[in-house]
């Protein structure tokens, strides 16, 4: 029975995978190159979860599915890597009505959680604060949350035409 190789959290090749695979020197060299591309791909893919535009608007790219994967992989293959210190970072965001994996992008120098960032002077009306921090200020101050939109639906009607 063949040995089961150790892979990373997302099934990616790791140095442990390469060392356990019994590769030749040339194969190891190529495997490390592939591992670097895979690591870059996963990093790019993570950055494409709710990216932010120059105006600060967060976008949901989940509808793109395989296209988002293809963009991340193509950028990794084309050599895109982090070239400088990050200016922003993702911070997990949970609130009623939010998708499970929602994030907000915040200044990289801010704390890792909104709870750590929240100060007594912070207000729900301060648009310079990230949305997760504004939400905590609203909860703290007893400000009612904005009502969620009613669930919407459509009724599809298909009419056939006689030929």
- C-alpha distances in angstroms, 105 versus 86, 97, 151? 11, 18, 27
Give the model's pLDDT for residue 31: 93
- pLDDT for the residue numbered 80: 92
Cβ burial, residue 104 (10 Å; 0-12/13-18/19+): buried
pLDDT band at 11, cuts 50/70/90?
A: confident
* Under 8 Å between Cβ of 41 and 76: yes
What local confidence, expressed as pLDDT, does residue 56 receive?
A: 75
In the predicted structure, residue 37 carries a pLDDT above the cut 90: yes
Residue found under tokens 């194969």: 27
Name the burial class of residue 45, with classes exposed (0-12), middle (13-18) and buried (19+) by CB atoms within 10 angstroms of its CB.
Answer: middle
pLDDT over threshold 80, residue 96: no
Confirm if 103 and 89 have CB atoms less than 8 A apart: no
| Residue range 103-153, pLDDT digits in tens | 888 899 999 999 999 999 999 999 889 888 998 999 999 987 655 556 666
| pLDDT value of residue 127 | 85
- Predicted confidence (pLDDT) per residue in 53-94, tens digit: 888 777 888 888 899 999 999 999 999 998 889 888 989 887
* pLDDT for the residue numbered 1: 59
State the greatest distance between any 2 C-alpha atoms of the chain, in Å, as a whole number. Answer: 71
Look at residue 13 and give its three-state secondary structure: coil
């Amino acid at each position: 029975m063949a040995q089961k190789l150790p892979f990373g959290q997302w099934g990616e090749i790791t140095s442990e995978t390469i060392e356990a695979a019994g590769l030749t020197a040339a194969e190891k060299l190529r495997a490390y190159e592939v591992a670097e591309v895979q690591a870059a791909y996963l990093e790019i893919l993570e950055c494409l979860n709710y990216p932010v535009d120059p105006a600060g608007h967060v976008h949901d790219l989940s509808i793109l599915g395989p296209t988002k994967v293809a963009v991340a992989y193509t950028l990794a293959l084309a050599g895109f890597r982090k070239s400088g210190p990050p200016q922003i970072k993702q911070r997990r965001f949970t609130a009623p009505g939010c998708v499970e994996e929602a994030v907000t992008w915040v200044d990289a120098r801010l704390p890792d959680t909104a709870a750590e960032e929240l100060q007594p002077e912070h207000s729900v009306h301060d648009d310079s604060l990230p949305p997760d921090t504004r939400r905590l200020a609203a909860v703290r101050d007893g400000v009612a949350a904005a009502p969620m939109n009613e669930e919407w639906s459509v009724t599809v009607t298909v009419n056939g035409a006689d030929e």
